[in-house]
Amino acid sequence: MFNLIRMDCRRLFKSRNFYIVLAVTAILILMVILLVSVVSDPQTLDAMQSNGAEIDDIDRRMSEQIHHMSQLEFAEECLNSGFLLMMAGIGMTLFVSQDFASGYVKNICFVRSRHGYVLSKALLAGVYSVLLTAIGVLLSLLCPVLFGLHPAADSVRHILQYAFWLWLPHWSFSLMTLALVLLTRSSTLGIILSILSGGGVTATLLQMVCRQLHWPPIETYLLSTVAGRQCIPFLGMPQIRMILLCTAGWSLVYLAASLFTLEKQDI
């Protein structure tokens, strides 16, 4: 098992796709920070108003609120849109699909157990997602100064707590793409569902269905909703319970689906 994980990590850090995913993630975060800094700049709002744009008191209050945010509040503002989920899912999809394209999965499953293969990939998903989460949190904490924003500093303990609880649903979300690649042996479905689910499209559609059928709000248990609503700075026990419940539940479902799929398929 240890050798499998070590081989996977070595292959990950030698993969070009891995660094492309990291670079795209960093660029997206910088673009979000730039956009937030532009729309919160009072001079920009005055210029837009002088050019005929409608700027009301809500826009002014939002600008003032952004300038009075703490570091973690600003990080949440930048990271709760779901693009970290998308990148985690796309990254794992591309990495696992390479195992089928190169014949790696056939060689490993011939020599070692298929359970060991799935477990090693699950642990690698944790490594992949923790790196993406770390990049997202660090950039959203350090880069606002480059764009003229100076959020109030938070303690290291609170920053680490926020990063940990943010990481858990991203790890579980990566396991979804592992199951999809093992099922289809292709990256197409994993990438599509990473974008739709990570972006909140599936949660929105499920919310509409639940309202039409008068069902309970099932969409609140989706990982995209958990990452967007429950992973907040200074979270309390209700948020912690929801994160743990949904992360553990979906992780078990995805791991069971991965094991079942791999056992039933001919490699």
Does pTM top 0.75 for this prediction?
Answer: yes
Q: Could you tell me which of 211, 230, 214 has the C-alpha nearest to residue 222?
A: 230
pLDDT number for residue 254: 94
Amino acid at 9: C
pLDDT number for residue 5: 78
Q: How far is CA 59 from the centre of its chain?
A: 28
Contacts with 196 (C-beta within 8 Å, 6 or more apart), sequence order: 202
Give percent of the chain with pLDDT exceeding 90.
40
Are 203 and 225 spatial neighbours (Cβ–Cβ below 8 Å)?
A: yes
pLDDT number for residue 111: 46
Token digits for 103?
A: 């014949």
Tell me: the pLDDT tens digits for 16-70?
A: 999 999 999 999 999 988 888 887 777 776 676 677 666 666 767 777 787 788 8
Amino acid at 80: N
What's the CA angle centered on 183, arms 186 and 168, to 5 degrees?
95
Contacts with 195 (C-beta within 8 Å, 6 or more apart), sequence order: 86, 89, 90, 201
pLDDT number for residue 110: 47
Q: Could you tell me which of 94, 89, 81 has the C-alpha nearest to residue 35?
A: 81
Q: Say how far apart CA 12 and CA 174 lie, in whole Å.
A: 15
Q: Say how far apart CA 44 and CA 213 lie, in whole Å.
A: 45
Which segments of the chain have a pLDDT < 50? 110-111
pLDDT number for residue 149: 83
pLDDT number for residue 160: 92
Token digits for 219?
A: 């969409």
Contacts with 124 (C-beta within 8 Å, 6 or more apart), sequence order: 5, 8, 9, 12, 92, 95
Are 180 and 93 spatial neighbours (Cβ–Cβ below 8 Å)?
A: yes
pLDDT number for residue 106: 65
Q: How far is CA 167 from CA 95, 143, 171, 218, 220, in A?
A: 19, 20, 6, 22, 18
Q: How far is CA 179 from the centre of its chain?
A: 17
Q: Say how far apart CA 152 and CA 134 lie, in whole Å.
A: 20
pLDDT number for residue 245: 95
Q: Say how far apart CA 133 and CA 252 lie, in whole Å.
A: 21
